[in-house]
A and B are shown apart, each in its own frame.
Chain A
């Protein structure tokens, strides 16, 4: 079962005893703060978890995989994630 927002809401509801509605609102607010920070181009660093970075991609030549025709991909911004050492160790069961 993948971890979803509903589960985060449930955990917060259980842990701090806020209503489910309020817990859901707080989770949304928390995610919204992260999203708008990234939107403004600023990185978000969560110690022990990882870093969300905004990176600028240059224009490049690509291909439409379906038709095989060459096309120019416009410059764009993407979000990348750099996993922290602690999280990596956790995933590898160390």
Chain B
């Protein structure tokens, strides 16, 4: 399922217009992105949570050429799925 299909499914199930549905879906993911960009956690009960993990700089290697490369410090989102989703997916 992609974003368009999600918008369509939400429009149908919630009985709202396509435009509203699109605004809602975009907003949900934009808000999550913004929170993470601000280093905030995201906690959606029953679905998932995200927090930002900070990685230090390290010297890596290009696996193809074996060349040494400097990896800069970076931040990545760490995803944890919620209890309800966990139980429902693993049945």
Contact = CB atoms under 8 A, between A and B. Distances in A.
B10 A26 contact: yes
A45 B2 contact: yes
A4 interface: yes
Interface size class of A (residues with CB under 8 A): 35 or more
Interface residues of B, number: 47
A31 B46 contact: yes
B79 A92 contact: no
B12 to A, nearest CB: 9
Nearest to A47: B3
A3 interface: yes
B76 interface: yes
A25 B79 CA distance: 25
B39 to A, nearest CB: 8
A71 interface: no
Interface of A: 1-5, 7-8, 11-12, 15-16, 18, 25-27, 29-31, 33-39, 42-50, 54, 76-81, 83, 87-88, 90-93
